[in-house]
Amino acid sequence: MNHAHAKEMLEVKNYLRNHPEEVKIYSDLKNRLYEKYSNDYAKYRKEKDLYMAKLIKRTREDTS
Q: What is the pLDDT of residues 12-60, one digit of tens each?
A: 999 999 999 999 999 999 999 999 999 999 999 999 999 999 999 999 9
Q: Which domain holds residue 49?
A: 4-63
How many domains, the chain?
Answer: 1
Helix/strand/coil (H/E/C) assignment for every residue in the chain: CCCHHHHHHHHHHHHHHHCHHHHHHHHHHHHHHHHHCCCCHHHHHHHHHHHHHHHHHHHHHHHC
| pLDDT at residue 63 is higher than 80 | no
What are the phi and psi torsion angles at 35 (to 5°)? -65, -40
